[in-house]
Structure 1
Amino acid sequence: MVARGEVDGAPDARGRKPSRKRQTRRAQVLEVAARMFHERGYQTTTTQEIGAELGLLKGSIYYYISSKEDLLFELIEQYHEETRGYFEAIVGSDRPPVAKIRELIITSTAHTARHLSRSSLFYTEWRALSEERQQVILAERERHEKALISWIAQAQADGDVRADVDPKLTALAIFGMVNSVYRWFRPDGRRSAEEVGEAFCALAVDGLLVH
């Protein structure tokens, strides 16, 4: 299991705080691993190749990680933590349901586009994790799905969203659109991450509203 203290600077099990040099080096390991998993695929990328990319001697990478799966899980968990941040803020706001739907689409799209390597791992490589760890990923996704379904249903009750809309099917369609961004978005493309989010929002929400 990855020692979390090695990431955030907290003391390890023996009460020792990792040096700044080790923390910096370990952050580099995570960054290179995310890029290589994204470019080559998790299964075909070895820890030795990650180490070689960083100029580490054979086997030295295990000074910074415990296993390849732990490395993947930590990268996905980092992405989770970031999404939890904006998701909880939207859930906790007192804005009306339609406004929450708009904000979730725009923010999720932009976040996915700005973090292509980690988002691709989040959406494609999570199945390489153990069943127990997969359940962590699925539980988080279910929370997002249930929240969006409830906002759509509330907006229908308020008379803002069409009554013939199926909340669950609509939620799945929205997430399918947002989650596809990692496949094709390019930072040097003609639209920014935020502009893509705004365009998705217009496509999805405008079609739901009662006119």
Structure 2
Amino acid sequence: MGRSKADGGAGVRTRILAAACDLFAEQGYDATSVQQVVDRAGVTKGGLYHYFGAKEDLLVEMYRAVFSERLAALDAILAQGRDPEWTLRAIIDDIVVGTAAMRRESAAVSRELATMDSGRTQRLQADWRRYQEAVRGLIRQAQQDGVFSPVASPEVVSWSIFGVTNSLHTWFRPDGPKPPEVIARELADFVLAGLKATA
């Protein structure tokens, strides 16, 4: 199509991803056909396959968009070497605010990627496991050092955080009564109050 050429490669690729993201969020990955994606994006199937080898690649690219920033932010936060309370609060703030900013993409990938098992997704799943273990390692070390209470295991504590953030796309509304920063602060206050070490 002329419009695809006029936009240039980056524009076409972005439009395809945006169309796929909307459709996956609206009706699910399995229920979305490649034809629906190209129709909404205003490109040809050949144009789509020029940038993406398979429909699954669209989902993988969305996951990268959602998660690569969070993983980079986690590494940057941990690299500061601050105390565990500050570090955990910063991680919670980043994941809540970042997920809220990419709510549509999160909705598109949250259910689907967990059921996939292929070479395309194994690296992404490994990155997610690394993220989880980094957060749990922070909690575990702080508990061993007596900074955090051992009231709950690092796994349970981390899932209390991830449970909120992974489902955020289902309940957060940008025009709701609380902005993401407030939600992040309240969640961090809640988690850290539970982890407060007693004298």
Q: Which category of TM-score, normalised to the shorter sequence, fits these structures?
A: 0.7 to 0.9
Unaligned runs of 5+ in 1: 1-17
1:41-84 Cα distance to aligned partner (Å, 9 max, x none): 11111111111112335654334432211111111122222112
**2:34 and 2:45 in contact (8 A); partners too:** no
State percent identity of aligned pairs: 29
Q: For residue 37 of structure 1, report the CA deviation from its aligned partner.
A: 0.7
| Aligned counterparts of 1:169 and 1:82: Cα–Cα separation in 2 | 24
Q: After alignment, is 50-59 or 104-113 more displaced?
A: 50-59
CA RMSD between the two structures: 2.2
Contact 1:162 1:210 in 2 (8 A): yes
Residues 73-111 of structure 1: per-residue CA shift (max 9 Å, x gap): 111122222112211111211101221111111110111
- 1:71 maps to 58
Q: What amino acid maps onto 1:53 in structure 2?
A: R
TM-score (norm 1): 0.82
Alignment of 1:1-211 (within 5 A): 21-57=8-44, 60-127=47-114, 129-211=116-198
Change (3 A) 1:208 1:126: same
Indicate how the Cα distance of structure 1 residues 49 and 109 shifts in structure 2: closer, same or farther if over 3 A, else same: same
* Runs of 5+ consecutive residues of structure 2 not aligned to the other structure: none
How far apart, in 2, do the equivalents of 1:167 and 1:44 lie?
A: 37
- Shift of residue 184 of structure 1? 0.9
Counterpart AA for 2:148 = V
CA distance in 2, matches of 1:204, 1:106: 12
- Residue-by-residue CA offset, 1:130-186 (whole Å, 9 max, x unaligned): 433332232112112211122112222332211333222222222112222111111
Partners of 2:70 and 2:94 within 8 A in 1: no
